[in-house]
Amino acid sequence: MRPQEARHVTLCPQWKIVLNAMIEARRNELQSKAIKQDRWNNREADRHAKKAFLEEYKGPCKFSGKYGPQPTQMELV
């Protein structure tokens, strides 16, 4: 394409419309990827926290103070 043709193409109003549409499409794509990355990071943080809880506190039973089966209480104290 010759420089005069390129200049003519870039000066026409359709060129701006096409460029704006391409920019908007890329913004939407970038926003979508950012949302997906945030969700993935949140899930990874949750998995890490769950693993740390299970390793540090040995699960919910030890954390709540219930180590094993409790005997049934026959009378109220």
What range does the domain containing 33 cover? 3-61
The pTM is what?
Answer: 0.58
Q: Is residue 70 part of a domain?
A: no
Rg (CA), the chain: 31
Number of alpha carbons in the 13 Å side-chain half-sphere of residue 34? 6
Q: Is residue 20 part of a domain?
A: yes
pLDDT, residue 18, reads: 93
pLDDT at 77 over 70: no
The whole-angstrom separation of Cα 53 and Cα 59 is 6
The whole-angstrom separation of Cα 74 and Cα 77 is 9
* pLDDT tens digits, 2-61: 888 888 888 888 989 999 999 999 999 999 999 999 999 999 999 998 888 888 766 666
Domain count, the chain: 1
Tokens of 56: 């540090």
